[in-house]
Amino acid sequence: MIEMTLKLFNTWSKKKEIFKPIKPGKVGYYSCGPTVYSSSHLGHAVTYIRTDMLKQFLKKWKGFAVKHVQNITDFGHMTSDADEGIDKIKKAMERERKTAEEITKFYTEDFHRAMKKLKVEPPDVEPKASENVDAMIETIKKIIENGYAYVKDGTVYFDVSKYKDYGKLSGKNMKEQEEQQRVKDPNKKNPNDFVLWAKHKPGHSHVWNSPWGKGMPGWHIECSTMSRKYLGGDFDIHSGGVDHYFPHHENEIAQNYGAFGTIGANYWVHFGLLSINGEKMSKSKGNFITIDAALEKFSPEEIRMWTFSSHYKSTLDYSEDNLRKAKEKLDKINKFIQRLLEIAEPSEKIESDIAKKYHKKFEAAMDDDLNTPQALAVLFDLITEVNKKIENRSLTKKEAADILSLLKKIDSVFKIMNFEKEIIKIPEDVKKLIEEREKARAEKNWEKADEIRDKIRKMGYLLEDSEQGVRCKKIKQ
């Protein structure tokens, strides 16, 4: 039995709720994937590192069998851009003089490569929108049959006046929203009605046949369709960036209700956005950072550490200063691990009191809506306490082994730590002295050999003679 202690902030209810899965021991998880028309950027890095953190905590700490589905949006979708006639993928096709297939293949691979570098585990299923259009047409048919949509001149619209909870998720003022939408499209019954199937226009990257004529699905319908198709019905968690509150997830929920009579997912989790030196990242501002560019300056572990330094719901600010701070903290953790590795190897089972105490504290922080800054604070408290114990020689080998094992468990979620025993770099002058000493030993000049050993010790290195030869260790400061 998995204990239900994890609380997640559910955007649907606007409350922190105890997480209870639909099927005991199992979690169905859907996260919105990228639209593949340009290079993966730092916003993707932050969103999917957070996605991975949530997933790994459910798997590695809570013991759930998680099925994770994340889509690839590989055709242009209806946005205000599309209303002007050209969708994003079509724009990329024109910009790069490539076919739609070449564009989407290239940027899907770019996304996969970037995620791998950032140690983000791939989803279990990664459906492509373009390969699920038939299923989307079926969903749209259901919505029409149930009376939540209407067809006008080859386009299918969702009728928001039929869904009483429209606007509940985002909390947006729908009257204001109406003002913005008004007169844009004379075919709409209500200004906030949105497109389920768009009649073909020359600016669309793709075209399919449908019962309503040639065209392509609206953006939101793909997530309603593919989440249900691959998770087999209603599921547990749906996540995405807060920029998806509206219209994407608001519309997804309306469609789910119109087609299937439920909102689809029980927990709607939203990740905060990214800012660059306090400003919104945008190409026009010239502060657009691709994942490749960020990785030239900082390691994947440093980027992950920086991501976890803020709560997933807050806006995360990128600045070289913030990244450097994350790096310093990470160095401290890794130095601590090296210290422990000199004492012990990770144990099989965590049994000692000190390791158990911090295991509990870490889990409690993460249980509280995945509070990673608090979890990191627990980690640094552990480092302080254990370092004191090392200094006053009261840390046992078993305790060191258990703490290493706890750190490994923490790292199954964070993926930031280095457990490789560091091979120390021996300075050239010490190396020379070691050679001299070896020569003296070969000549059986023991006095000289001992003299050199003392000299090396004064330089901060310890020599140990063994059957495999001489070993040189740095003396602990």
Q: Between 121 and 243, whose beta carbon lies closer to Zn ion?
A: 243
> Which of 88, 453 has the CB closer to Zn ion?
88
Collapsed DSSP state (helix, strand, coil) of residue 317: strand
Query: What residues numbered 188-207 form the site for Zn ion, per CB under 5 A?
Result: none
Reduce the DSSP state of residue 138 to 3 states and report it.
helix
Q: Which is nearer to Zn ion, 72 or 114 (CB)?
A: 72
Q: Which is nearer to Zn ion, 215 or 240 (CB)?
A: 240
The DSSP annotation for 253-294 comes to: HHHHHHHHSS-SEEEEEEE--EEETTEE--TTTT---BHHHH
Q: Give the contact letters, 260-299, x = binds to Zn ion (CB under 5 A), - = no.
A: ----------------------------------------
Residues 262, 265, 271: CA angle, nearest 5 degrees: 140
Residue 217 Cβ vs Zn ion, minimum distance, rounded to whole Å: 12
How far is 346 from 341, CA to CA, in rounded Å?
8
Q: Which of residues 436-455 bind Zn ion (CB under 5 A)?
A: none
Q: Shortest gap between Cβ of 70 and Zn ion (angstroms)?
A: 9
The answer to whether 90 and 230 have CB atoms below 8 angstroms apart is no
Residues within window 396-415 making contact with Zn ion, judged by CB under 5 A? none
Q: How far is the CB of 219 from Zn ion (least distance, A)?
A: 8
Question: Count residues contacting Zn ion (CB under 5 A)?
Answer: 2
Of residues 423, 68, 394, 72, the one with CA closest to residue 222: 72
Measured from the CB atom, the residue of 244 and 329 that comes closer to Zn ion is 244
DSSP string, 13-62: TTEEEE---SSTTEEEEEE---B-SS--BHHHHHHHHHHHHHHHIIIIIT
Least distance between Zn ion and beta carbon 9 (Å): 19
Nearer to Zn ion, 32 or 265 (CB): 32
Q: What binding mask, one character per residue, do residues 213-252 give for Zn ion by CB under 5 A, x or -?
A: ----------x-----------------------------
Q: How far is the CB of 152 from Zn ion (least distance, A)?
A: 25
Nearest-approach distance from CB 32 to Zn ion, in angstroms: 3
Residue 317 burial (10 A CB sphere; 0-12, 13-18, 19+): middle
Q: Distance between CA 143 and CA 163 in Å, rounded?
A: 12
Residue 223: CB minimum distance to Zn ion, A: 3
- Min dist CB 142 to Zn ion, Å, is 19
Percentages (nearest 5) of helix, strand, coil residues in the chain: 50, 15, 35
- Of 215 and 264, which CB lies nearer to Zn ion in the complex structure? 264
Read off the amino acid at residue 475.
I
Q: What are residue 110's phi and psi, to 5 degrees?
A: -60, -45
Least distance in angstroms from the C-beta of 220 to Zn ion: 7
Residues 15-34 that bind Zn ion (CB under 5 A): 32
Please give the C-alpha separations between residue 22 and each of 31, 229, 254, 270, 368, in angstroms, as whole numbers.
17, 16, 21, 20, 20
Residues 73-102 that bind Zn ion (CB under 5 A): none
Q: How far is the CB of 128 from Zn ion (least distance, A)?
A: 13
Measured CA to CA, the distance from residue 263 to residue 265 in angstroms comes to 6
**Closest CB to Zn ion among 32 and 452?**
32
Grouping H, G, I as helix, E, B as strand and the rest as coil, residue 197 is strand
Residue 168: phi, psi to the nearest 5?
A: -65, -45
- Closest approach, Cβ 11 to Zn ion, in A, equals 14
Q: 413, 51 in Cβ contact below 8 A?
A: no
Residue with smaller CB distance to Zn ion, 72 or 223: 223
Residue closer to Zn ion (CB basis): 32 or 231: 32
For residue 389, give every residue at least 6 positions away whose Cβ sits within 8 Å of its Cβ, in sequence order, or none: 354, 395, 399
Task: Write out the binding residues for Zn ion, residues 31-50 only, by CB under 5 A.
Answer: 32
What is the C-alpha to C-alpha distance for residues 299 and 100, in angstroms, rounded to an integer? 33
Minimum CB–partner distance for residue 253 and Zn ion (Å): 11
| 129 is a site residue for Zn ion (CB under 5 A) | no
Binding residues for Zn ion restricted to 156-175, rule: CB under 5 A: none
Q: Which residues contact 92 (CB under 8 A, 6 or more apart)?
A: 37, 38, 98, 103, 107
Nearer of residues 227 and 371 to Zn ion, judged by Cβ = 227
* Minimum CB distance to Zn ion smaller for 30 or for 461: 30
Residues in the site for Zn ion, rule: CB under 5 A?
Answer: 32, 223
